[in-house]
Amino acid sequence: MLHIHRTNNVDRCLRQKRKIPRFEKAKDRGGYLLILNLRKERKIKVGKLGRVHFREGFYIYVGSAMANLKKRMERHWRLRKRHHWHIDDLRAVAKFHSVLAIPSSTRLECEIAKAISKIADWTIHKFGSSDCSCNTHLFGMVEDPLQSIAFHRLVHHIRMGRSIKRNR
């Protein structure tokens, strides 16, 4: 579970009316990777996309929440909810497997989707990407991505390896 705490550094910055460092601002916003497991092949009605064919396997959805990241990730765990996004339709029939937070004060969703596309076995065209120019934000894998070295390397790079730009 993602724990969000204000640090003494944030309190000090607020008292001194200084800018809060980027890493502090990112604590409850950023991207996430939702991993679902679909145990059998099926066609599912997905919003305006209509009936979409889904292979049996694991699905990685790249999402973002530029506010309330923790709540967004918890929402995907629940089955009983109003369907708002494409992923809600898949989540209704697929088993929740995991969700990984990628805290960031900037939008990384498209950058992450591009990286995931390089290790995925297949994609679902136009899924979850109606508000950007990406081909998709949903990727399929035959094997559990949490057992994949390539997936772990990619997540590590996204979380830790990106260069930090500082305003001076």
Query: In sequence order, what are the residues at sequence separation of 6 or more whose Cβ sits closer than 8 angstroms to the Cβ of residue 128?
Result: 61, 62, 63, 85, 86, 87, 136, 137, 138
Q: Is residue 128 part of a domain?
A: yes
Q: Is residue 8 part of a domain?
A: no
pLDDT value of residue 65: 86
CA distances from 160 to 64, 90, 129, 152 (A): 18, 30, 25, 12
Residue 20 lies in a domain: no
Any idea which residue has 């497997």 for tokens? Answer: 97
Chain-centre distance for alpha carbon 136: 13
Q: Is residue 5 part of a domain?
A: no
4 in a structural domain: no
- How far is Cα 24 from Cα 50, in angstroms, rounded to an integer? 41
Residue 167 counted as domain residue: no
pTM for this prediction: 0.77
The residue segments making up the domain with residue 79 are 25-161
- Can you give the pLDDT of all 168 residues of the chain as single tens digits? 343 333 444 444 444 555 544 444 447 888 899 999 999 999 999 988 899 999 999 999 999 888 888 888 887 677 776 777 788 899 999 999 999 988 888 888 999 999 999 999 999 998 988 778 899 999 999 999 999 999 999 999 988 876 444 444
| Residues 129/136, Cβ–Cβ less than 8 Å | yes
Q: Which helix (H) or strand (E) holds 9?
A: helix 8-15
Q: Give the count of domains, the chain.
A: 1
What is the per-residue pLDDT for 162? 63
The answer to whether residue 140 is domain-embedded is yes
33 within some domain: yes
